[in-house]
Amino acid sequence: MDTKKTHDGPLVIAIDSSTTSTKAIIVDVTGCVLETAKRNIQLHTPAMDFYEHNPIRWWETTKECVEEVLAKLSSKDRERVAAIGITHQRESFAPFDKNGKPLRNGILWLDGRATKQIRAYGSSHIHDLSGKPPGVTPGIYKMAWVKENEPEIFEKAYKIVDVLSYITWNLTGRWASSAAAADSLGLLNIREFDYSDELLDIAGVKREQMAELVPPAEVIEMLKPELAAEWNLPGPIPIIAGLGDGQAAGIGAAAVSPEVAFLNLGTAVNAGVESPVYKCDSVFRTHVSGIKGNYVFEVLQSSGSYLAGWFRQSLGDPKLLGEPDPELDKEASKIPPGCEGLVTLPYWNAVQSPYWDSVARGAVVGWRGTHSRAHMYRSILESIGFEMKLNLESIQKGTGVQLTSIRAMGGGTRSALWKQIMADTIGIPITVCLEDEISALGASVLAMAGIGAHGSKDVANSAKQMARFGDTVEPNLKQTERYNEIAQIQRQLYPQLKNIFEQLHVLSEKYPSTKPESPKAEL
């Protein structure tokens, strides 16, 4: 809880339903977070590369979190609650009947079951139409998988919607989503901010099965009177159209102009910039922004702090169970840049930007008997920096604007070593955002703008009023020069291993895993 809160003006509740948990925060007009709550969501993996949620948990955890943060407020502060904003894990979806009962588990953004569908339907035309390069994450290909493997599900479904829409339906009774949230499914003609019949046909769904679309930062509907009464809130409370968690992180960091990028060092690493115009590029994907009429050019690297955590859990101190290891950081900080000839291709979870290859794999090249665990750990961190440098260079070409600063957030910012490596490899100053729940803060910015809390409905203005920052890490330009040489070598790995990865994929299909199924969610 932040003690530097204001004692007047509106408060908003912001909900962030993500891959591992749902969070709720209460925020004031200055961006100070008064209260927080969190509930975990179980991840189900019924087969290799399958990742699912029980969708009922999206709402149950939301309701529990909202009730908890409201219970912590004084009666006076509860009277100040003026709106609710929502952000969510992008690309995830589930089918529901007319009563909101899920017809199967939700399929998540990181699910990798749809390689066949990506190859069958993905094309430069679909990329240009939707803004999304063919790859693992967009929901359209996993919807096509359901169409082809479980056709009865979509035939029975009343609605097939994203996480935000299901939460909104429970809050308001309306099946609606924000254009900046549903966009991530890959079903929109992104230039028109509306569904494309061509894309819906690929996915095997009908327009009437989709959520209604509302522009970001506009009112979707009022909170159900019975919920307002149950939560002892003043009425009516508007539910404001939110956005996907990636765009929300950028808004929460006030990265609202093309020369300022956001960098999320989370489970995955993603970065992006705002743009007033649409562009299609082979390296980045384009999303609908939380700023009405704008777009976000975003790069995605799926192996972020997940990969560092994997290393610590698999090869680190077993007593720490994968948690950050100060001793390992200390040892890795003594290793020189380039790790004495050890380079890593960090594609443990395939590769998104810049290659969008669902069958790519990780590789560590250059082993000598003198290399240690610390060498490999540092090489992993450096490799993520090399990939990000390449991706940010592509974004700058796309916008025609040189980046001057980067606003960073996510668990990776707690590592001084990783922050410095990222600054040195990229060669641009990195400023750390103070708020941990940065995506939820972004949703609160849209909620504040939606009610005109800062004198207008200008999302960019509200973002600047509410973002707060900590230290700035300056790059060591001598190290940057050295890293540039190493990066040139590291970039040669994927083209030379691409065919090997394809052969390994064929082999894995021929001899599938015999991993036992995890328990399925009770629906």
* % of the chain at pLDDT higher than 90: 86
Q: How far is CA 316 from the centre of its chain?
A: 27
pLDDT digits (tens, 9 = 90+) for 105-157: 999 998 989 999 999 999 999 999 999 999 888 999 999 999 999 999 999 99
Residues 6 or more apart whose Cβ sits within 8 Å of residue 279: 286, 295, 297, 398, 399
Q: At 128, which amino acid appears?
A: D
Domains of the chain: which residue ranges? 11-246, 254-300+390-477, 305-388+486-510
Chain-centroid distance, C-alpha 240: 20
User: How is domain 254-300+390-477 classified at the architecture level of CATH?
Assistant: 2-Layer Sandwich (3.30)
- Pick from 192, 204, 177: which is nearest to 86 by CA? 177
CB 48 within 8 A of CB 138: no
Measure the CA–CA gap between 276 and 422, rounded to whole angstroms. 28
Segment 419-440, tens digit of pLDDT: 999 999 999 999 999 999 999 9
Cis before residue 354, ω within 30 degrees of 0?
yes
CB atoms closer than 10 angstroms to residue 248 = 32
Mean pLDDT of 484-497: 97
Give dist(CA 25, CA 62) in Å, integer. 11
Which residue, 444, 456, 461, is CA-closest to 86?
Answer: 444
Q: Taking 60 as the threshold, does the pLDDT of residue 378 lie above it?
A: yes
pLDDT score recorded for residue 516: 45
- The C-alpha atoms of residue 219 and residue 197 are separated, in whole angstroms, by 26
Q: What is the mean pLDDT of residues 361-389?
A: 97
Centre a 10 Å sphere on the Cβ of residue 121 and count the other Cβ atoms it contains: 16
DSSP H helical ranges for 47-196: 56-72, 75-78, 115-121, 124-130, 139-149, 151-156, 163-172, 179-182
Tell me: pLDDT of 520 over 50: no
Q: Determine the Cα–Cα distance for residues 163 and 190; give it in Å rounded to an integer.
A: 20
Second-level CATH architecture of 11-246: 2-Layer Sandwich (3.30)
Global confidence as pTM: 0.89
- Which pLDDT does position 514 carry in this prediction? 62
Q: Is the pLDDT of residue 164 over 90?
A: yes
Q: pLDDT digit string (tens) for 189-226?
A: 999 999 999 999 999 999 999 999 999 999 999 999 99
pLDDT at 354 over 80: yes
Q: What are phi and psi of 335, to 5 degrees?
A: -80, 135
**Pairing mode of beta strands 295-301, 285-288:** antiparallel
Question: Residue 22's pLDDT is what?
Answer: 97
Q: DSSP letters along 85-97, please? A: EEEE-TT-EEEE-
Name the architecture of domain 305-388+486-510: 2-Layer Sandwich (3.30)
Tell me whether domains 254-300+390-477 and 305-388+486-510 share a fold: yes
